Amino acid sequence: MEKRTVGIYVRVSTENQVDDGYSVGEQTDKLKKFCDIKDWSVHKVYTDGGWSGSNIKRPGMEMLIDDVKEHRVDTVLVYKLDRLSRSQKDTLYLIEDVFNANGVAFISLNENFDTSTAFGKAMVGILSVFAQLEREQITERMRMGRIGRAKAGYFKGGPHPPFGYDYIDGDLIVNPVQADVVKSMFEDYDQGLSLNKLTRKLNKEGHIGKDINWSYRTVRQVLDNNDYIGKVHYLGVSYEGNHKAIVSESLYNHVQSELKRRQIENYKKFNNPRPFRSKYMLSGLLRCGKCGSTMSSQISSYKKQALSGKRLSYAIRYYCVSSRPSKLHGALSISRVDSCDAPTYSAIELEDKVLTKISTLSKHPERVAKLFTKKVNKIDTKPLNDRLVQIENQIERFMDLYGTGTFSIDRLNSRIAKLNSEKEVITEKLKKATDQGPQLAADRMMDQLANAPQIIASDDYTEQTKLVRSLIDQVILNDARMTIKWHLDW
């Protein structure tokens, strides 16, 4: 009898783990007994417990492939063909390009065939077709089941529910701490904050309820997600959900309109680039008090004949309601997109006026304090305090797991470091919610203002721009009247 060195491969998917004949133990026992009867040597049992057969990216399978390529085995033995794979393409790849290419035979005990024979090779092709068909039928049944759940108002499930919710017993349940962050995101964007500024703000505050930093893409995904108005979205269709909404439908719809409007505006800017757009101090901060539109920096150029007879070029920079440039009598002029009659503002004069406001504020701490006492505190401290209790409980649980040997010291330190980081951010938020909060914030702003007079006097335009952007959220212009909305999140 031919002596063989066998690699036994065993796989169970989550839905088949308890089925008779499919458990890891059952398969392993039968395959080892078969090798004993044949007097074959078992090199290793490669096990993938709880892994789907839809692809071959499985740890046990990858180890088996490595050993086949290193010629550590000359035969691969499975209990049933679909334990190898449920994909026709993957099955044929493994047999033809991995096993046969390295001189390794493949045997399926249940189907009773061997690829070293012509009949076995033919049977593999036939059976793999049926395995593929079964997989596609399972996928179709799962898809129909998910559509049914969505129509009934249930979330499609999965390991990652939308930020703001917990997925408990098949239902989306509002997470109070995360939901407060979601509300703030919608409100901030609706009030004019850009996606980039909103992302920076969230990360500056700390990623409360989130393990990693916010990115532009994840912020955009939150604002696009209609789960937050009580909907369930699946395969391009929205259904009425059973879960509680976090934001109002009117706010959500307004944010969607604003997202589209800004996208179109950015697209136009990209395809009609104007020089120096992002270099100027007040770019992105100005808003018209009459029509509510953003205001941008423009340059008007013209030529004038000097006493010497030479024609010299001049350029005047100013701010105006967002518009498009056009040529008029050889000079660059501005064609208004709408009918707003807001005037244009000299960039130099307007920027000087803003810097003067900052300089004046830096000399009056009482005015800074007044800014923060006017700020109405709407923070609900209960969810934050509840989250602190949860963090303490989690830390205790991780310590217990470490004590039982379940956690390594590195894993323990990593988890506790993340929890302590979130704890510090929440503690800081709670501190801001106390009576001392406004005074602490005012002190921080005064620290920033301390260097303002020197920066303004330096004539360093770059540093002046940084100063303005660190202190101001928005400047609203209504004819000669200028209103500054200071950055109050300190």
Active site residue ranges: 13
| Residue 189 burial (CB count, 10 A) | 23
Distance CA 103, CA 355 (A): 79
Distance CA 75, CA 64 (A): 11
Distance CA 283, CA 190 (A): 19
SS (H, E, C) 186-233: HHHHHCCCCHHHHHHHHHHHCCCCCCCCCCHHHHHHHHHCHHHHCEEE
- With tokens 């498009």, the residue in question is 324
SS3 438: helix
Distance CA 144, CA 142 (A): 5
Yes or no: say if 43 and 71 are a contact pair by the CB < 8 Å rule: no
Rounded to 5 degrees, what are φ and ψ at 36? -60, -45
Q: What is the rounded (10 degree) CA torsion for 189, 195, 198, 199?
A: 150
Cβ-based neighbours of 285, under 8 Å, separated by 6 or more = 468, 469, 472, 473, 474, 475
Cβ-based neighbours of 379, under 8 Å, separated by 6 or more = 429, 432, 433
- With tokens 């040597």, the residue in question is 41
Distance CA 19, CA 6 (A): 25
Strand pairing of 311-321 and 323-328?
Answer: unpaired
Distance CA 285, CA 469 (A): 8
- DSSP classification of residue 295: E
Rounded to 5 degrees, what are φ and ψ at 49? -90, 125
Distance CA 113, CA 90 (A): 19
Q: State how far the alpha carbon of 103 is from the alpha carbons of 70, 71, 72, 99, in Å.
A: 11, 8, 11, 6
